[in-house]
Every structure is written in structure tokens, then in C-alpha cells.
Amino acid sequence: MSDDIDRKIIHALQIDGRASFRAIAAILGISPQTVNRRYADLRTTASLRVLGRTYPHAVGEEEWFLRVRCAFGATEEVAHALARHEETVWAHVTSGGTEIVCTTRNAEGGEPLLLRNLPKTPRVTSLTAHCLLHTYFGGPQSPLDKLGPLTPQQIAELTLPGHTADSPRLTPVDHALLHVLHTDGRASTKELAHAAGCSPSTAQRRVAELRRRGVLYFDLDYDPQVFHRPRAAMLWLSVAPAALDEAGTTLAGHQQVSFAASTTGPTNLYAAVNCADSRELHTYLTGPIAALPGVAQVESAPVTRTLKRAGRCLRPGSP
């Protein structure tokens, strides 16, 4: 069972995924050995991982949400196939097992490979695709920014300077570094240098530059039970275009929201939310969501099971 120290360590890593244990310890007032031991325990008990992520626009990519419905009895097989696909970043079974929702990343302006292949699958009965247009909350932003236990002063001590928007042309060394950091955001400088075929000082400098130039950020993957919000759901909202930005910005400020974006498709505003239980989800839908401006319709889909999270396929029973 995670305690307040565990949650503070998680919050600190959300702010700076490569912060040293010594720096985190100094801010929390505990020993580096305690941070090291707690981090190792959290990797086991809460599936905590620090992941290097790239901003889609900085690497010429875009994101899509695909909603897939299947013939009776076929959902499980199709869901696992989608989760194994290299384009898929997230894959969920929702609405009591009747729908699959996955997130893909592909070359900007191109067609996701899954969109070409899925309609040919006889067991797929319907498919809707939503291209992500604008993120109101997500990426390096986390619900911990709204719920986390660290004080404003502690957050300020960990926060790095803001990045610029002039994304550089990536080199082979950069691509090699990003490949390693994608699966282990805390890979050592020595490991990064070995993978990229460069010196440790070059690896360290390039990682810092990729962060400063708005290419690379670090995110966390962990069991939502740690913060007592296990009831996950997806919301698909239809909002009047004139009210879309106001609704999206307001939605981004809700404590329950972990991701919010405008999209193409039959609906134009998407949100991933986490609540303590179904009762809280009901209160949220009938309160803050109902009060959003310009909303004509809301569809909610509770997440039944997550098969792939942040690019990592999950084993059955894993947190």
C-alpha cells in the first residue's frame, strides 16, 4: 500500500523524470537511500515507469483515437491484436467489453495503417476515427499537477525552465537516444552513450537539448490505485464550435481529467477521466460536465480493462 512519501516521490518524478534521487531526497527531507528503495518498490508494486515521450509535432507525427466495435465474442481477440500493433500507444476495452478504444501515432498527414487494415477484418462491425487536433491537457501535464502532494515551493525547485518551440532537425544520435528513453526514461548516461555510439558528455548534452527545444519530455506510467482513483472512463463530447475552446480549457482544469483534446469525427472534444468510484463519476457527469458551455451531447464509456498503456503491453492482472 503506497503512502504519502511514495506519492511525493511519484509527484517529483512527474515534474522531472530524470531528477537525481539525491535532489528528490533533499526536497522531501529524506535520505537518497530511502528514495532509491521506495522507487524500486514502486516499480514492482505500482508498475511505476519513467518514460521518455516526444511531442508529436516535433517529430512529424499525429495522434488518432480509434473506436472499434466487433461481432459478438470477437472483442478479446481483436483487442489483443490491436494492442500488439507497433502504431498503438494505448489500448482499452470499454463499455463492459463491447468496444475497443486505441490511440495510435503515425506520420503527420498520413493514414494510420490500422485504418487501412481494420475495415477488412470481418469481425469488426464498426469503426470511427478521431484525429487529435489540439491538446488542452496532457503530454507533460499530469493530474498530479492538480492533485499532487508537493508544495508550490517543492514544485518550483524541481521544475526546469520552459522549452522553446523551434524543434531541431534530429540526428541519428538523437533517434538512438529517444529510442532508449522511450522504454526507460531513467536510463543512465553511460547506457545512453553506448546505445547512441557517442561519449557520455555528448549523450547528456543532447538529452538536455532535446528537452530544451521542445522535442522530449518525461511522463510516468503507474497504477491509478496509488492516488485512489481507479474508476477510469472516456468522455466523448459534442460541443458548439464557438464554445469549443472555452469548454476544453475549463475541462482541463477539472481534477478528474488526465487528458483532454479537441478531435475530428462525430464528436469534437475528448477527455480521459479518473474517479474514485462510479458514484463519483455520476456526480462529475451531472455536475462539472453538465455545466460546460456549448455541450450538446456527452457519451461516457467506462474503461473495463487496459491492454496497453504508454506503449507497453500489460500482462493479465498487472496494475
Average pLDDT, the chain: 92
Q: Hey, where are the domains in the chain?
A: 4-50+145-221
Question: What pLDDT is attached to residue 1?
Answer: 56
Who contacts 65 (Cβ-Cβ below 8 Å, separation ≥6)?
A: 101, 102, 103, 129, 130, 132, 263, 265, 270
Cell numbers of 178, please? Answer: 529517444
- Does residue 224 register a pLDDT over 90? no
For the beta carbon of residue 260, count every other beta carbon within 10 angstroms: 26
Question: What pLDDT is attached to residue 129?
Answer: 93
Q: How far apart are CA 49 and CA 223, in angstroms?
A: 10
Q: Which residue has the cell 476515427?
A: 129
The answer to whether the pTM exceeds 0.75 is: yes
Question: What pLDDT is attached to residue 113?
Answer: 72
52-61, 146-155, 165-174, 233-242, range with greatest mean pLDDT: 233-242
Who contacts 121 (Cβ-Cβ below 8 Å, separation ≥6)?
A: 78
Q: Please state the rounded mean pLDDT for residues 237-262.
A: 98
User: Per-residue pLDDT tens for 162-185?
Assistant: 777 677 789 999 999 999 999 999
| Least confident window among 6-20, 85-99, 132-146, 161-175 | 161-175
| Residue 318's pLDDT band (cuts 50, 70, 90) | low
| Least confident window among 144-153, 189-198, 279-288 | 144-153
- Encode 179-191: b = buried (16+ Cβ within 10 Å), e = exposed: ebbbeebbbeeee
Q: Please state the rounded mean pLDDT for residues 10-27.
A: 97
User: Per-residue pLDDT tens for 200-215?
Assistant: 999 999 999 999 999 9
Q: How far apart are CA 234 and CA 226, in angstroms?
A: 20
Question: What pLDDT is attached to residue 316?
Answer: 67
Q: Which residue has the cell 472499434?
A: 68
| Least confident window among 19-23, 76-80, 176-180 | 76-80
CATH of domain 4-50+145-221: 1.10.10
Question: What pLDDT is attached to residue 317?
Answer: 55
Which run of H or of E encompasses 205?
helix 200-212
